[in-house]
Chain A
Amino acid sequence: MSDSQSAAIQGEAHGGSHNPALLHHFAEPQQQRDASSLGMWWFLATEVMFFGGLFCAYLIYRLKFFGDFGAASKTLDVSLGATNTAVLICSSLTVVLAVWAAQTGRRMMLVGNLALTLVLGLAFLGIKSVEYREKFEKHHVPGTSFQFQEKIPGHPDQYADPRHAQIFFALYFVMTGLHALHMIIGVGIFVWLLTMAWKGRFTPEYNTPVEMGGLYWHFVDVIWIYLFPLLYLIDRHP
């Protein structure tokens, strides 16, 4: 072995033993982490466009059928919607605390906050399913059994057009349904993160999955931050 070779090997050993979490095509952990982060943000950008199309469809029909949308929106339960908003905001706090715990090497704080996030995520889905159940009972689900007999807010003598109200509920189910699907996927991701955290796989040097899972969860929270006022609070004043 030549001197330069042994010096190189020694130099590598001196710079810290080989990090098993560092993939060979990355020069250093920071570069690997930045690549993951950039990829995650591009994915979220496509998600913005994905939901953006639905928000666009919603805005067009809301402008066209404002009174009917107001009547349909009034049948939603504001207190359940507001509770779910608060539940998601609390879960966003536990997520950001989990990321912080992972970065500072606090394993039990990480496990605890991941578990709390899961509990809050499931609570959100539970409340959502109570709301969906009510829609089925009232025949507010678009389809052949759809019924809608509500008056337009501010027009006590005028009933809303059920066909236009049906468009509202179609958008309601697609938008909240797609959001709920993202929540279910998020719960799956966090179950995996919790398992890995329990096994002690995350360290201050390697915690990118927790950070990326956190970005996803916060994004889903942001979507709900817009869905709540747009769907529940159209025309609430007396």
Chain B
Amino acid sequence: MSAHSTSSSLKTYVAIWIALLVGTALTVYASRLDLGRFNAAVALTIATIKATLVALFFMHVKGASEKLTKLVVLAALFFLLLLLGLSMADYATRAWS
């Protein structure tokens, strides 16, 4: 909320916007390369970088005036990782018939 009235924040927004577009082009390009098992890892890494940029700069998590916001974001990520991590630990170690 604070200190968004300067034109420097406008420049930041445009820079993030360009970075997000470049990331989209990059992920389409990377999908055409044969990276074996790393195709998915590259795609998810680029997506996570893009999502982090949106959260930090467009959703103003970076400049949030109250620490509770950051706590909620971390709590959401923690429970998401629990959900995905424990489920994958189960299914990845099962003997599929």
Contacts and interface: CB of A to CB of B under 8 A. Distances in A.
A60 interface: yes
A218 B39 contact: no
A48 B76 contact: yes
B24 A85 contact: yes
Given A90-B17, A92-B54, A237-B31, A56 B83 contact: yes
A93 B1 CA distance: 17
B31 A104 contact: no
A63 B92 contact: yes
Chain B interface residue bracket vs A: 35 or more
Given A34-B68, A229-B43, A237-B33, 16 more contacts: A34-B66, A38-B72, A41-B72, A48-B79, A56-B83, A78-B28, A95-B58, A96-B13, A96-B58, A100-B9, A100-B10, A222-B51, A226-B44, A230-B47, A233-B43, A237-B35
Interface of A: 30, 33-34, 37-38, 41-42, 44-45, 48-49, 52-53, 55-56, 59-60, 63-64, 78, 82, 85-86, 89-90, 92-93, 95-97, 99-100, 103-104, 211, 214-215, 218-219, 221-222, 225-226, 228-230, 233-238
